[in-house]
Amino acid sequence: MAVAVSRQGTVAGYGMVAQDTVEAGELLFAVPRAALLSPNTCSISALLEREQSALQSQSGWVPLLLALLHELQAPASFWNPYFALWPDLGRLQHPMFWPEDERRRLLQGTGVPEAVEKDLVNIGSEFHSVVLPFMEAHPDLFSPRVRSLELYQQLVALVMAYSFQELLEEDDDEEKEPNSPLMVPAADILNHIANHNANLEFSAECLRMVATQPIPKGHEIFNTYGQMANWQLIHMYGFVEPYPGNTNDTADIQMVTVCEAALQGTKVEAERLLLKERWDFLCQLEMVGEEGAFVIGQEEVITEEELLTTLKVLCMPPEEFREFKDQAGWEDANRDEDGCLPVTDIPKFRASWRQLLRDSVLLTLETYATDLQTDQDLLANKEVHAKLSWREQQALQVRYGQKIILHHLLELTR
C-alpha cells in the first residue's frame, strides 16, 4: 500500500503519508464512484431528485446537506465507516464558530468577518425556509435529533472544508451554474499546502489522487484546495499557512476605496461629478462594482485588467476621457502582455497612477485595527506569541500576510 492514514507526521489531525518514495504522475489511490457521497448516490437520491425544484436555493448546497443529514441518522448507513473518520463537529475551528466580538476584533480589515456574517444569515434562512420544512415533511427519513440548526451549521462548515467540486469549464463567457459539491472519502483526509504534491483527478470510473511532484518516503502527501489566500483558508477550512509559506496569499483593495481615494483628490463639485462619470463608465465596462475588490498577490496583481483600466480611466485628463468614452476603448489596440501584471511593473507607472494606488493602499491599511509593526512585534517575540490563543495566532497570520503585501505596494508606489 503506497499510502497510510496517520496522525503522526502530519500538519494537522489526520493526514496521509507516503509509505514509499512516490514519483510525479504516480497514482496514489483511486476512489470508486460508488464510494462518493452525494445527492445522487445517497439512499434518498430518488426523493431528492424528485423534489429538486423545492430544494433550490442560493447556495445550491441543500441537497447534499440533506443527504448528509439523512445518512448520519440512518442506523446502517453505507457511509458509517466514513463518518467515523470525520472531525468532531463540536470542535470545528472555522471563524463562524468563534464568538462574534472575537471574530470581529481579531480579523478586522481582512474581509473574513463580513464573509462569515453573510454565511450565517444564509445558513439560517435556508435552514428555516427549505431544509427544516423538508425534514418535517419526511419525518421517517430525518429523526428529530438531526432537525437542528446547530447541526446544520456544523455540516455546512464540514462541507466547506471537506467537500469537492469539479472545476468549472472556462470556455464560456457566461458564468455557468457551479456543480454541486460532493464528499469523497479517503481523498478528503489529505491536508493542503501551497507547495502541494498531489491533486484529485476526474475519470469516468473513479476519482484518482495523483502525485504532482516526487514524494520521499515518510513525507506527508498534500492535496491542493486551490490557490487560496490565508483569509480564504481560514474562512472555508479553519486553518492558515504561517508566513512565509503561503505563496498564494493576497491582499484586497476594495474597488470603492480606490474611488474614495480619487474623491479625496477633488476640490470642487465639478470634479466630483466628473469622477462619478468615470466611475459609472468603469461600472459599465464591468471593470468595477460596488462589492468588488482588486486582488494583489505577492508577485503579481491578480485582477490586472481591472486595476489597469481603473487607474487609466480615473487618472486620464478630461479631454482624453471624453474621447475615450466615445470610442469605448477602440483605440487600445496596443495591449501588450495581456493577462500579466508583475508588481515590479508598478514603479514604472506614471506618477498619477502611483499616487492613486498609494492613497488607496493607505486607506485600506486604515481599516485594520492595528498597524503592521504591532503584528510584526507579536510574531517576533516568541514568548508573547506562545501565549496567544490558537485563534489569535491564526488571525495574526491572516492580518500579517495582507499587511505585508500592502506595505510592499507602498514601497513600489513611493
Binding site for another protein (CB under 8 A): 58-61, 115-116, 118-119, 122-123, 156, 159-160, 162-168, 170-171, 173, 175, 178, 181, 184, 188, 199-202, 207, 223-229, 232, 235-236, 248, 250, 252, 289-293, 295, 302-303, 305-306, 326-328, 330, 333, 338-339
**Dihedral (CA of 8, 11, 16, 20) sign:** negative
* Rg from Cα positions in the chain: 24
Cβ proximity to another protein, 97 vs 378, nearer residue: 97
Q: Which is nearer to another protein, 21 or 165 (CB)?
A: 165
Q: What is the dihedral of CA 20, 21, 24, 30, to 10 degrees?
A: 0
Instruction: Give the nearest distance from C-beta 132 to another protein in angstroms.
Output: 16
Q: Which C-beta is closer to another protein: that of 61 or that of 142?
A: 61
CB of 179 to another protein, least distance (A): 9
- In 3D space, the residue among 30, 31, 22, 29 whose CA is nearest the CA of residue 197 turns out to be 22
In the bound state with another protein, the residue whose beta carbon lies nearer, of 140 and 331, is 331
**Single-letter residue type at 69:** L
CB of 203 to another protein, least distance (A): 8
Q: Which residues of 138-175 are buried (b: 16+ CB within 10 A; e: fewer)?
A: eeebbeeebbeeebbbbbbbbbbbbbbeeeeeeeeeee
Q: Which three cell numbers stand for residue 297?
A: 498577490
How many other CB atoms are found less than 10 A from the CB of residue 381? 11
Distance of closest approach, residue 10 Cβ to another protein, in angstroms: 17
For residues 93 and 248, which CB has a smaller minimum distance to another protein in the complex? Answer: 248
Q: Between 44 and 187, whose beta carbon lies closer to another protein?
A: 187
Q: How far apart are CA 21 and CA 186, in angstroms?
A: 20
Phi/psi of residue 299, each to 5°? Answer: -110, -20
